[in-house]
């Protein structure tokens, strides 16, 4: 399972509400327990502070706010692991961009090799498509996979 229906609905709602800025977040998992953590995209603040180093704003890039990263680290310390890292593309397709790939790798290796990356395309304020991508060790790249939400388990 990549996303439950409830997670999918929440992610799509966040993507539309944050349009025309990219949204971002993570779904963390521990055993059968899952936690959706919508995050704040602080790319605009980075861009305003240092446009040379951060030439893109939140319409074309995302950066998970430090407070949300800290929450992720604390949850990982409690045994949770990122199952899904998601963000949206504004008025563009649901593809895994060269920037997305670069951010997911460290020294050519995935930081989270078992994590699925989900990209939501939001065009003119509406969800147009969703893509999912997972690391393939043989291809040494992220490859598309099907996103088929299952019913949320309660």
Nearest to residue 130, comparing CAs of 62, 98, 84, 65?
A: 84
Encoded tokens for 47: 């861009």
Provide the residue ranges of all domains of the chain, joining segments of one domain with +.
Answer: 5-145
Alpha carbon distance 131, 144 (integer Å): 7
The reply to whether CATH 2.50.20.10 applies to domain 5-145 is: no
| pLDDT value of residue 29 | 97
pTM of the model as a whole: 0.94
Query: Do the beta carbons of residue 63 and residue 95 sit within 8 Å?
Result: no
pLDDT tens digits for range 9-66: 999 999 999 999 999 999 999 998 999 999 999 999 999 999 999 999 999 999 999 9
Enter the DSSP assignment of 37: E
Cis amide prior to 14 (ω within 30 degrees): no
What are the residues whose beta carbons fall under 8 Å from the beta carbon of 48, sequence distance 6 or more? Answer: none
């Amino acid at each position: 399972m990549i996303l439950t229906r409830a997670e999918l609905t929440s992610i799509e709602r966040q993507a539309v509400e944050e349009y025309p800025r990219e949204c971002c977040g993570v779904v963390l998992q521990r055993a059968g327990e899952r936690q959706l953590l919508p995050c704040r995209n602080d790319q605009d603040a980075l861009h305003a502070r240092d446009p040379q180093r951060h030439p893109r704003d939140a319409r074309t890039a995302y950066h998970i706010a430090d407070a949300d990263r800290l929450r992720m680290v604390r949850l990982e310390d409690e045994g949770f692991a990122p199952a899904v890292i998601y963000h949206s593309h504004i008025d563009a397709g649901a593809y895994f961009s060269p920037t997305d790939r670069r951010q997911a790798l460290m020294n050519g290796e995935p930081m989270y090799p078992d994590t699925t990356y989900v990209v939501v395309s939001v065009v003119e304020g509406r969800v147009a498509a969703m893509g999912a991508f997972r690391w393939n060790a043989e291809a040494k790249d992220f490859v598309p996979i099907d996103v088929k939400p299952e019913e949320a388990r309660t």
